[in-house]
Structure 1
């Protein structure tokens, strides 16, 4: 069994919890609180800025131009691709996308970003790949799950969101990250594999909590000014 297959097996309870999460169920039913959508988009915009930062750190740790080019391409995908599902959410919520940019990260999203940045700064390339992988992988599986269970038609409120993440392009991104992680795993010992597993599972847990954060509209306990530092 490949390393990524073992990781997916260990994380299955989390994945199943994500499929059953109220926010994901709301996407499928076409019924979500607009304020939860807005809270999600605000956080996800800054989270994706941080995600691109992690790809940049991966470039800095790369020794081959092929790897540098790969991570550069992933930055371009986030910049130019992920705006489409965000725009779908904003239309449903009745708000302009530009009005949701530049807000401080809520606690859970801030924790997720800190986890990824710490892993990228101090971990191996395998740990970086493992920490990044749950984002595209869980979204791809969510998209496929909703396509199978809901079978949305073009008039579904979240049709664009669901079809975007169920598309082969997101699957290819997931599979390429998996391939790179599996290749790395073949050349390292058990201690390094364990560190990568911990990074992967923590990201999976935080993917679940990210959806939770949107439903609960999570905020910091005290209202103090914060600067956005992820971009």
Structure 2
């Protein structure tokens, strides 16, 4: 069994909880509260900005052009393609995408980013990949599960979102990350493999928490009061 298959098997419990989460299931049913969509878009826009920065750190730690190309392609995908599902959510929520940008991160998203940044700065490429991979991997499988379960057509309000993440491009990019991770895992110590597994599972946990954060419109316990001029 490859290392990435081992990771998937060990974290199947979290993947299943993600598939059953009311926000995710609501996408399949075509019924997600507007406020949850808005909260998700605001947080995910800033989350993906940080995600690209972490890919950039991976580029800086790459020892060959193949790895540089791998992470460069991932940055390009997030920057140029992953705006499309955001636009689908905006259309259904009745908001303008540009108005959803620049908001402070809710606690869970803030923690998730700092978790990945920690592994990016202190870990090797394998550890970075383990911290990053649950995001594209869970979204790929969400798209596949919702397609199989709900068979959305062009009239489905979230059909563009579901089709985007179930698409062959996402599968291909995720597969490349998995393949590189499997190669790196073959030459590291058992201690490092343990660190990699811990980074992966925590990111899976935080993927689940991110959906809950959006669905409940999570905010910081005490909001800053801006004084009137």
- Cα deviation for residue 139 of structure 1 reads 0.2
Describe the superposition over 1:104-155 as per-residue Cα deviations: whole angstroms up to 9, x where unpaired.
Answer: 0000000000000010000111100011100000000000000000000101
Match of 1:158 in 2: 158
Alpha-carbon separation, structure 1, partners of 2:209 and 2:178: 23
Match of 2:24 in 1: 24
Match of 1:193 in 2: 193
Quick check: 1:82 aligned with 2:82?
Answer: yes
Match of 2:69 in 1: 69
- Cα deviation for residue 68 of structure 1 reads 1.1
Alpha-carbon separation, structure 1, partners of 2:118 and 2:90: 31
Alpha-carbon separation, structure 1, partners of 2:218 and 2:142: 22
Match of 2:2 in 1: 2
- Cα deviation for residue 72 of structure 1 reads 1.1
Runs of 4+ aligned residues of structure 1 deviating over 3 Å after TM superposition are: none
- Cα deviation for residue 173 of structure 1 reads 1.2
After TM superposition, the structure 1 stretch with the greater mean CA deviation from structure 2, 58-67 or 16-25, is 58-67
The normalised TM-score by structure 2 is 0.97
Quick check: 1:15 aligned with 2:15?
Answer: yes
Q: Please give the root-mean-square deviation of Cα atoms over the aligned residues, in Å.
A: 1.0
Match of 1:203 in 2: 203
Distance 1:118 1:28, change over 3 A: same
Distance 1:98 1:180, change over 3 A: same
Match of 1:123 in 2: 123
Alpha-carbon separation, structure 1, partners of 2:127 and 2:164: 27
Q: Structure 2: give runs of 5+ residues left out of the alignment.
A: none
Describe the superposition over 1:68-101 as per-residue Cα deviations: whole angstroms up to 9, x where unpaired.
Answer: 1221111111001110000000000000000000
Alpha-carbon separation, structure 1, partners of 2:195 and 2:93: 40
Match of 1:217 in 2: 217
Match of 1:169 in 2: 169
Q: Structure 1: give runs of 5+ residues left out of the alignment.
A: 227-231
Describe the superposition over 1:40-83 as per-residue Cα deviations: whole angstroms up to 9, x where unpaired.
Answer: 00000000000000000001101112211221111111001110
- Cα deviation for residue 225 of structure 1 reads 7.2
The normalised TM-score by structure 1 is 0.96
